[in-house]
Every structure is written in C-alpha cells, then in structure tokens.
Structure 1
Amino acid sequence: MSPRSLLLILTACLGLGAQSPATRLVQSIPVETALADPKLPFAQDVWLDMVRGAKASVDAAEFYVTSRPGSALEAVLIELEKAGARGVKVRFLLSSKMLDQDPASVARLRRIPGAEVRSLDMAGVSKGILHAKYFVVDGREAFLGSQNFDWRALEHIHELGVRTSEPGIVSRLARLFAIDWAFAENRRMPEFPPQPLLSAHPKVELVASPPFLTPKDIRPSIEALVDLIDKAQQTVRVQLLTYSPISGQDHFWPRLDNALRAAAVRGVKVRLLVSDWVLGGRALPHLKALTLIPNLEVKVASIPEAKEGHIPFARVIHSKYLVVDEVHLALGTSNWEESYFTESRNIELVFRDSPLATEAARIHDRLWNSRYAFALDPARGYEKRKVD
C-alpha cells in the first residue's frame, strides 16, 4: 500500500474529508463463493433501503428487468409496488431490445399504481442500446453500478456499484434520465442548453456515453478512462466482463489498449482481470498477446456453477471498474469495447483522491488472488464457456 493511499484511509477515518461517507461502494457476490467483502453492504439490502425510503419519486434507467419467485429482486419489486401505492411516482426506462427477457416483470412494473414505463430505442440514431444501470430516489440519492435489474445480479454474479448522495452526481444523473426519458417518447435529439463547466479534474465526476446523446459539459467516458490510465504512476487494476480492441468484423479500436500498453512500458504494474466469457472469443488472441508485455498481467476469473445447476447468463464477474495508484477510481456500466463508448448509453463515476479507490483495490486483490482466478497462458488453448 502506498503512503498516499494510507493517508487517504487515515483522513477518512478521522473525518477529515477526502471523500464523503455519503458515497459507498456496494457489492454483489455469487452465493456459495468466498468473495464477499465484510466491510461492504450488499446491493439487495441497499436497493430495499432506498426504495423503502422513497417519499416522492423513483426514476430508474435499466438495461432490462428479470425476476423469479423467491429471488432477492422479488423483494425489491414488492417494495416498488408499496412505494407506488403510497403515492411515490415511479418511472422506469428500459432498453427496447431487452423487453422480451421477462415480459411478466415488465408488465408488473406497468401495474404499479401511477407508474410509467418507457423503452429507449436508438434505431435510426445508432446501433447502440440503453446499457446504463442506475436509479435516482427523490432527487436526493442515487445508485449506479454494474448490477442489472436482474435477480441473478443480486445472487449469482460478481458486481460493484455505488450508492451516493453527492449533489453533483445525483443532479447529473437526474439530468441524463430526463434527456433519455424525453428521447424515448419523441425520438428527437435533445437540445442541450449551456451549463457551467466543471473544473478540469473535480474530485467526483460523472462521465457518460455516447457523446451525441450527452451534454457537452459532461465528458465522454472514454476520455476520462484514458486520462486516468495515462496519469498512472505505480499501479493500474482493471476488472471487466469483457475486453476487446476489435470492433465489428475487422475494425481495430486501440484507445484503451494503447493506454494500458503505454502504462506498462513506462513501468506501471498493470493487472487486467476479465471473465471467462472471453474464452473462445475473437479477442482471446489479443488478450494472450498482452500477457507478453512486461509489467502487464492478465487473469481470467471463472465462478463455479451453483449447487442448483446451470443458471443461464450467471456465475460470472460482471463488475466494470478501474483503479489507478490505489487513489483514483472509475466505476460504471461499460465493458471495454468500442460500441459501449461510441453508440450506447453508459455512465461512469470518477473518484479522485478517494478512499473508495483503496476499497476497490482490495476487492480486486481479493478476486485476483482467489482460487477463482487463473493467469491467461498464451500457449494454451481454451474451450468456450457455456453462457446461455
């Protein structure tokens, strides 16, 4: 641990204010694994607490919704129904391409008293999708993370999110929700009125994709991520579902790849942790090539099947975050592939000089050093993992 990160922990404990305790990391851990961090709350508990505390509104933008009887998400849906019954205005925005995942749960959202559900369709504008996952309660607090509104995300997937009442983040999330909510209704590109620009590197920053659907005073996510990596001095930790510099059939998109390689070349220790969904994929040869670069390690995490048997699209690491020098953290909803940054709605939160970064580094190390992670061998062949 660096002296700087130790100082951040001490100042946080003493209440000297590196980062407000109103912002907390929130975990989801696959059951029957030993990956839980004892110091962090679980997403299902946080979601229940936030919805129960709602007094006026719940605005949610989600990739999709899917539940099953008796699941952790079932309890959240019940609390949303109670919220609507007591007069809370519930608005849900879902990706148009994922409405068929669980039509019964979508219909259930529509039946919440006073609720309104819209679908975001980017056809004709881009090939992208609504891939962000967040909700805002009463305009005073918000949750954003890798967790989809999916029972599996609460029980069978490794995820990381943030609960925050930072006014700058909450107001910007509410603004993006308003933009997408209106676009979903009229399919017209919004006009962005001038807004005051933030300082060049604020302590807490919301960045977003795609640029064409984002106000100019909110930086593109890709710029923020590359900037953080370019400024790394000691360590870079990355955890993702998927990573690929290959876009489309044969297009090479090296922005993040170049940044990681350059960091390693200048002596920064880079650790890239990806899920076993990459095995057998077309990016695998490129990931193998990365392992040949000094100071750049690649590991693959593989979560065993649950005792109940195979669960489609589960038992995987799905978190999407970057930790630089144990003091800066970028956490959000983008897999590191071009379309997530250029065509689809995604959001990242950047925390600079924050104890949250030290916590995220601890989470990364726990998984990196666990029995679930193995070093990618450039000389070995791998079978594609069953996903669906």
Structure 2
Amino acid sequence: MTLVESIPLYVQYDANVTVGIPLEQAWKDLLSMATEQVEVSSFYWTLTGEDVNVNSSSDTPGKGILEQLEALPSRNVSVRLVTSVPSIRTNSTDLEILKRKGVQVKEVNFGRLTKGVLHSKFWIVDRKHLFVGSANMDWRSLTQVKELGVVIYNCTSLAEDLHKIFESYWAMGQPNSSLPDPWPSEYDTAINIHHPLVVKAQNVSSRIYLSGSPRAFCPSSRTQDLEAILSIISGAQQFIHVAVMEYFPTTRFEKPRRYWPVIDNAIRRAAFDRNVKIRMLMSCGRDSDPAMLPFLQSLTSMDSPRQNISIQIKMYVVPVGNQSGIPHSRVNHNKYMVTDKEAYIGTSNWSEDYFSTTAGVGLVVSHEPLWSTDSLHGQLRAVFRRDWQSQYAVHLADLPQYPDCNLSRGLG
C-alpha cells in the first residue's frame, strides 16, 4: 500500500522531502502486471494533446498509457472501462481507438439517473491490485496537474470490494437502466466503517474500507463517502489536515444553489469543542471560482490562539509559467484528509453535489502502530507537511501577489 503522486512540470521541492511514487510509473506497472483483466473508472478520457487542440510534448506519458491499454487485448487481457456520458463535447478519440482494439466501454448517464456525473477515478487489475485517487485518464494528470492517490498490491479482498462498485456502474451503463432500490445482494459488502478489512504487512496492522457516493448507488452495507468524512473529522483529537481542490459549503451545480454546511459545521465543531488544530490546503488556479473565498475567510475568522482555536487555510498555487496554452491545468487536484487517527484518499471535491448526486469513492485507512513513517498515514502526513511549508502554499491575504490564482479577484 503506497502513496502515488503526480507533480506538475516545473514544480520543485527541497531535497529529502517525501514524494509518492510517480503516477505514470504506477499506472505503467499496473498495466504491465495485468494477466487477466483491467477495469477502469474515469470521469472522462483525454490521453493525447490533440484531444484538447494542444501541441505539447508533455502529453508523451499519456500517449504511452494509451498505447499500453491498446495492447492489452492482444495479450488476452480483458479491458472494461466505465466513464460518464460527456457533459461537454470533446475531440477525444481514446475510447473509439480502444473499442477498435477490443476494449469494452460503457458510458453511464448519471444525469438521467441522479442528475450528477460519474466522477470516480479508480483501477482494478486482475481483481487483486487497485488504484484510487484524484487522477482522471488525462495526459495532464501525468504532467500538468498535481494529483494524489494510493496503489494497493495483492489485496484480493479490497479489489473484489471495489469491483462491486465498478459492477454497479457497469449495470447502470445499460440502455434504459433504472436504479434498483434496494440494490441486489451481490452488490452488498462485508467491509465498511463498522467492519474494516484488517491487513498485516511489514509489522503494521491496517484497517481499511472503501466508501461510496451517491446514496442512490450504495447498498445499505456500503459506508457512504460523506459518513466516512464526518466520522474521520469527529474522531480526530489533535489535528485535521485537509487538501481538496474545491471547498464549498453549498451546492455547486444544482440551481438555485443551496447552503449546505454539513462538513463546514463538523470542522468548526472540531476546532471549537475539542481544540483540534485544523489546516486546510485548497487549490487556486486560473479557473478557480472566487465565490469560494468568503467561505474560507469565514473559517479563518474563527482562528483565535487565545481561545485555543486553530483554523489555518492556505491556497496551493501551481505556477503557470510557459504552460499557459494548456487549458484546465496547473492546479492542485488532490482530495485527501489526514488526522492524528486516520487517512482518507478520495475522488470528490467538498460540496454537496459530490455526495448527493455524483459518483465518487474514498479509501479510509488507520494503522497500528499509528505513527510509523513508512505507513500510508505517515506518507500522507509528510506530503501534507511538505506542501504546506512549500513556496506554493499561500496565505489568503497574500493572494493578490499571485496572478495565477483567480481567487485574488475576490479580494478586490
């Protein structure tokens, strides 16, 4: 079980800091290992620069992944892909190319089923290896966007459990599908917040479970993503470190927009009632919505050392530099949380729609002994500390000095 990262080109850290295995390497290794079956869930597919009318050598790793996927059927490896019915037209030819090579593809119309999208990003290889994280099947995820995920090798129990989620998407990708209520028993899980999977490796005992969203896609035995997040926040005693691209205590896509302070209240309670130290690292790029700023300022206004209330927020700004011709890039796309007790790696931003209508998954891990530096929890703590202390993490008041951050408009 190891952390996987994509660090954008020209983002540099000091020597000797913790860095996850490069995402490109992890994906290549998983595809090389495959002997029977590869299953991938991704919001969308753009593995070549031509897909977004960009000519950049930084799409080379994406093209390499596409070629590896194309070659799998000729090695007698079955490939099944689920993706969201596109909400916007793209020029991507990835899925057509893959279909011609014998890959099976299902586009799930979440808009019809739940009024959301399929936003989950995960891989299952041979029903024993898996990847869960923030990265879509996009060349920019490998070179232009900061991504974070986890790869778990040789864990059939967890891979089979994730496969049940994949199968629920696959079933709903059929024409004229309708959501079952309740879900048939084959989608049930024995692994959840109440009964985590216990795994022992390298003298560390880990408790792990997968969470899912939205509620309509979860059998009653599956822990919902929101429940997992709230449980982790309420269980923290010393600190909560959060890194998500977008944070809105509202709906984002449903109109009219609605106030939704569920996670926000949990964070405030942890800081006020239990004096848990909160650090939150959001992303700010050229496309970020300045409407996020007042909510972040509201949280930081509670920060009061005198009353032992600590809520600190920074924005992670990936410098654009000479990469300005590449759309929807140069952002910190991470979606994780680490506390003094647990680690969480997800696929969702933190606003209501991601939990009520949109498909996502989360992986929750705790360890004994807890403070091992080599454990996933230890790696995640170190990565958060590295980013928080880096030159790319900017206090809200200093944002006007960073033209690559669109939130600075909200400070006018």
Range of TM-score over shorter length:
0.7 to 0.9
In structure 2, the residue matched to 1:270 is: 278
Determine whether 1:189 maps to 2:196. no
Q: 1:145-169 CA deviation, whole Å, 9 max, x = no partner? A: 0011000001011111111133332
Offset, 1:128: 0.6
SS of 1:123's equivalent in the other structure is: helix
Preserved CA contact (<8 Å) 2:317 2:405: no
- Using the alignment, how far apart are the partners of 2:100 and 2:116 within structure 1? 28
SS of 1:124's equivalent in the other structure is: helix
- Using the alignment, how far apart are the partners of 2:115 and 2:395 within structure 1? 34
Q: 1:192-228 CA deviation, whole Å, 9 max, x = no partner? A: 2174644626210100000111121111110111111
Determine whether 1:253 maps to 2:251. no
In structure 2, the residue matched to 1:170 is: 159
In structure 2, the residue matched to 1:200 is: 194
Preserved CA contact (<8 Å) 1:291 1:378: no
- Using the alignment, how far apart are the partners of 2:333 and 2:19 within structure 1? 20
In structure 2, the residue matched to 1:19 is: none
Preserved CA contact (<8 Å) 1:67 1:102: no
Q: TM-score, normalised by structure 2?
A: 0.83
Matched residue type, 2:326: I
Unaligned stretches of 5+ residues in structure 2: 50-58, 197-206, 304-309, 408-412
- Using the alignment, how far apart are the partners of 2:399 and 2:319 within structure 1? 24
In structure 2, the residue matched to 1:126 is: 114
Preserved CA contact (<8 Å) 2:320 2:404: no
- Using the alignment, how far apart are the partners of 1:368 and 1:342 within structure 2? 30
In structure 1, the residue matched to 2:95 is: 106
In structure 1, the residue matched to 2:53 is: none
In structure 1, the residue matched to 2:48 is: 68
SS of 1:313's equivalent in the other structure is: coil
Alignment equivalent of 1:143, drawn from 131, 141, 148 = 131
Matched residue type, 1:374: V
Q: TM-score, normalised by structure 1?
A: 0.87
SS of 1:310's equivalent in the other structure is: coil
Preserved CA contact (<8 Å) 1:280 1:382: no
SS of 1:103's equivalent in the other structure is: coil
Unaligned stretches of 5+ residues in structure 1: 1-22
Matched residue type, 1:27: E
SS of 2:363's equivalent in the other structure is: strand
Measured on the aligned residues, the alpha-carbon RMSD in Å equals 2.4
SS of 1:73's equivalent in the other structure is: helix
Matched residue type, 2:313: V
CA gap 1:91/1:280 in 2 versus in 1, 3 angstroms: closer
Preserved CA contact (<8 Å) 2:113 2:178: no
In structure 2, the residue matched to 1:368 is: 388
- Using the alignment, how far apart are the partners of 2:402 and 2:394 within structure 1? 12
Q: 1:47-101 CA deviation, whole Å, 9 max, x = no partner? A: 1111111111111111011022652111111111111111111111111025733
- Using the alignment, how far apart are the partners of 1:134 and 1:293 within structure 2? 37
In structure 2, the residue matched to 1:47 is: 27
Offset, 1:103: 2.7
Q: 1:155-194 CA deviation, whole Å, 9 max, x = no partner? A: 0111111111333321111111111101101422243217
- Using the alignment, how far apart are the partners of 1:306 and 1:382 within structure 2? 12
Q: 1:278-301 CA deviation, whole Å, 9 max, x = no partner? A: 855222111111111120011011
Give runs of aligned pairs for residues 182-331 of structure 1, distance below 5 A: 182-186=171-175, 187-190=177-180, 191-193=183-185, 195=188, 197-198=190-191, 200=194, 202=196, 203-247=207-251, 248=254, 249-265=256-272, 266-277=274-285, 280-294=289-303, 295-325=310-340, 327-331=341-345
In structure 2, the residue matched to 1:82 is: 71
- Using the alignment, how far apart are the partners of 1:98 and 1:84 within structure 2? 29
- Using the alignment, how far apart are the partners of 2:144 and 2:60 within structure 1? 11
